[in-house]
Each structure stands twice: as C-alpha cells, then as structure tokens.
Amino acid sequence: MFLRTVKATSGGETREYLRLVETYREGGKIKQRVIQTLGRKDQLIPQLDTLIKLLAPERLKDRQAMDDLTARSALTWGPVIVARHLWDQLGLGTIVRRCCPSRNGRELADRVFVLTASRFCSPSSEHGLAWWLDESYVTDSLGRRYAPVWKKSGRVQVDSRQLARWYRTLDALIAGKDQIEREVYLLLRDLFSLKVDLVFYDLTSTYFEGHGPEPLACHGYSRDHRPRDRQVQVGVVMAGGWPIAHHVFDGRIKDHQTVAQVVRDLRDRFDIGRIVFVGDRGMVSRDTIDWLKEEGVPYIVGLRRRRNRRVDEYLKATKSMEPTCAGDLEVYEVDGEDGERVVIVRSSERLDYERGMRRKVMKRVWPKLKALQERVHSGRLRDRGKIGAAAQRIVSESHSHRYFSWSIGDGGQLSVRVDREKLRREMRLEGTYVIATDHKHLLPLEVVQAYKELAGVERAFRESKDFLQLRPIYHRSESRVRAHIFVVALSFLLYRALENGLAKAGVALSVRQALQALKSVRLVELESGGKSRWLITRPNYQARAVLKALGLGTLQPPTVVERRAM
C-alpha cells in the first residue's frame, strides 16, 4: 500500500487530498485500487510520519535519511536507448562484425555504434564525442559504460590515445563499406519487404575546413554556397524510403556524370537487374539519357524548364488538350523525341508558392535598382564598370534577372525596367513541371507520383544532412573522409528508421523533436549512507509517445559498470 495525492476543485478553490492505494495482481496484470480517502493533505501533514510508519515502518527510516541523500550524477539516456534499439532492429552490429576485418569483431561493432549514435543523437567530431560520452549513458553490448579519458593539460583535452582508437575504428569500418551496404540492403529487403522497382538518386555537396585531401577535395559547384571552399560530392541511392547505398565523388564532377557509375554499382554489387531510375533535373543530359537507353534502364527524370526549346513546344501543345485531373494537379501527356513520353504537370499549390516567391523577389529588388539608378543620375556613381557591376549584382539576387533588365546609355545613364517578355515566360512556367520517361506501362499519374516521391526523398536527405551535420569535414586523409561520410550514412539509416516508426504509430513529431523529447529520460545516481542507487526520470508526454511507438514500454535501470573507452 502507498499514499497518493489527488487534486479536487470546489467553489473555485483547489485542495489536495490523500488516498490510501493498494496494488494487486489480477489475471497476470498489475492493478491498483483505492482503499480509503484519508482527507485533506494540509490537515494531515502533522500526522504524515505516523501514517508512513503505519503503512511501512522501514520507510520512516528512509524518510529520516533524506537529509543525507545526494545526487552524484544525472546522465542523458533516452536518445541512446532509441539509437541502440534501432541499431539492433536493423541488425547493424551483426553486419559490422561480419563484414569488417578485426581481431575483436564485437568490440569494433560496439565502437562503430558509439560513432553512429553520437552522430545521430548529438552530431560532433571525434573530439566532441568525448563530451557526449561524459554526459550520456552509453554502453557496449555487454552493458559496460563508455567514459572519456581527459588530459590534464594542453589545448586538446581529449587523450590522444583515445582519439587514435576512434580513428582506427573509422579505418576498419571503411574497409567493409561495400559489403556492409550490400548486407544492409538484403536485410531491409527481407525485413521490410523492400521492393526495388523504383530507385531514387540525389546528390549533394559538403565542404572542408582547410584544403582536404587531393584529388578528392577540389572546387566545384557548391550547394552550400561556399564556392571558395574545397568540397566533395555525395550521392545517395534510396529505394522504398530507405538509403541502400552512397557514393563519394570529387568536388568538380557534374551531376549527370555520376549516373552511370551508380547504375553499374546497383547491377554489380546489389544484383538489381530491372530498375526504373528516378532523378531530378540536375541528373539530366542528353548523353546520360542516351546511355540509360543503351543500357536498357527505364528512367523518370525532370526536364529543365528554362533555356529548353523543347519544353516551350511541349507547353504550347497542351493548350488544345484536355487534362487528367487529380486533386490540385492537371496532368497532360505529349510525345517527346525518339519515342520518349513527356508528362506536363500543373499544380495550383505550386503555382501559389512560386507566384508568391516571384512577387516577393520583385518587391525587394525593384527598389534597389531604382536606388542605384538615382545614385547614377545624381552623379554619385559615374564609373561605367562600377555601375554595371552593381546592377548585375542586384539582378543576380534571387534570380531576379528573370524579371528585370538594365542597360547603360552613351551618356553613362543607367536604365532599369521590368522585362515584360521575360516576365510573361516566367508566369507561364509558374506552377508547372515537366517529366520525361521511356517507361511504356506506367500511367501518367503513376509517373507523377514517382517523381513526387523523389521530392520526398530530397526533402528527407536535405533535412538529415543538416540535422546529422554532414558538413564541414575536418579529416585530411581520403579514407577517413569516406569513413566520416559512411558514419553519417549509417546514422541516416537510424534517422529513417525512427521517422518510419513515428509515422507508422501516428506520432506527429519530427526526428529532431523526438530526440529532444527523449532527453527528458535521464539516469540519476542517488547516494545515501555510502550506498548508491540508480533511478530513471519520468519521460515527458512526448517521450512516452516515442517510446511506445517503438515498442519500448517499461524502462528498467541498468547495471552500471564504468569502462574507459580507450
């Protein structure tokens, strides 16, 4: 039996009452029932010790010892529990042990888990990993806790031997990368009935702090808007919502030049013969499409809307056609070149978004052009080179050259105007996207659905890239650059597994929100009378929903054994 406090409101006043509650077992389940309502708590406080003594005499001693009770530590545990659960669910520990060369495969798999869980729960470098281990409860597969080793002096506070051990873990991991990805793919295929009929491919870049290893690290088109920094490109292949492979390319390679290597890898390493390749506009070149046709690989790709003569012709052809409607979409199919099918999609939702963005840009940029024109007219700016550079800089902002034109007269005067022809063309393109495919059996709406799935893949990849902090890269050797990206790829697997688990259970939380909520689950070490006891803090409402969604119901304090992570 135990005492429970309940609140009751009467006449606008809230009071607390004490109830005597009994726990009993019925049909294999533990239940509770109220034995007696004892009365108002404020009136019973003077008799509280007597009540405790009557219920359980030994508890009075515990109550008297409260003054000696101290909390030695409080470690974050919730995110680590979930990371370990997802890691085991995907069988990653077993796969790493089987695929990576090591004298002690279990220890290597444990250390790879630490690197992956750190990237998943609190992304940082190997230096920052020590701080995460210090404030989190992270164990190996035998339940022994990892703890950092610190130096007593020096700028770098983490013991160099510990850093070297983590770097050797990266070296061992990257040696088994190709086989690990294949094993993960086979597991996903069996565990989640993964159907690899549509393969989605997306490419991103990540930059270096410093020069990075040549020739892998070099300058190229930067999606991070850091053209002065060296970079590498990372391509991710996804099927059924799961990442099944990733590739690291040098920083200057063109998007479409990576496609052949990716498709060959899918055939050779994964034994995937029949696929439909789905890619975005950046993956498209005439040579790439011709190669896919020669290899017998059906494709669904977006076409560039601007500076594309064929798209103008396709849009004109739709004026005399009746669309197929689905929700806010109007879908048209026209004949392309060499037997290619072209699907034109007009979306009212996308139209509203793009129209709003265009008006916002025009409203922001036009006053800047007029202000520059006034500076030139008043004589404050006379150098033709500087005038042209300033005008070009303004119209380059947010692609506003699509709406405005400028020119410098013989007298050095600047003329700015809204280019009506350009504007009309942009307005025709708003809300429209164009898809090309050579697949003969998909309906137009199925083609559109596949391409929309690519947008979801790109969104997930973009969000996870920011969340898992793929950038920047500090490593100076090519193998460790690749290993760093592989750890991010493994944590992306955990990211998708958690995202899928939350969606399946109907929990309306993002991965970021879920992990933040799970931080409310902490291990607290209490010490009294020279003895220690570990307790778990009560999860908040959101954390309970996340744990329930993953099948992690009742949590029990672990047996804590310190272990130096050397």
Q: What is the mean pLDDT of the chain?
A: 85
> What pLDDT is attached to residue 60?
44
Contacts of 116 (CB under 8 A, 6+ apart): 83, 87, 92, 487, 490, 491, 494
Domain covering 194-298+439-474 assigned CATH 3.30.420 in the classification: yes
Check pLDDT > 80 for residue 535.
yes
> What pLDDT is attached to residue 315?
87
Instruction: State the Cα–Cα distance between residues 362 and 402, nearest whole angstrom.
Output: 10
Range scoring the smallest mean pLDDT among 253-267, 448-462, 511-525: 448-462
Range scoring the smallest mean pLDDT among 66-70, 334-338, 390-394, 424-428: 66-70
Check pLDDT > 90 for residue 407.
yes
Q: Against a cut of 0.85, is the pTM above it?
A: no
pLDDT band (50, 70, 90) for residue 225: confident
Check pLDDT > 70 for residue 65.
no
What's the pLDDT tens digit per position in 437-476? 988 888 999 999 888 888 877 777 777 778 778 878 888 8
Contacts of 435 (CB under 8 A, 6+ apart): 300, 301, 302, 303, 342, 343, 345, 447, 448, 451
Domain parsing of the chain, residue ranges: 1-67, 194-298+439-474, 316-437
pLDDT winner (highest mean) among 85-89, 155-159, 223-227: 85-89
Q: Judge contact between 555 and 536, C-beta under 8 A.
A: yes
Q: Judge contact between 121 and 515, C-beta under 8 A.
A: yes
> What pLDDT is attached to residue 103?
82
* Listed residue (378, 410, 404, 376) closest to 392, CA to CA: 404
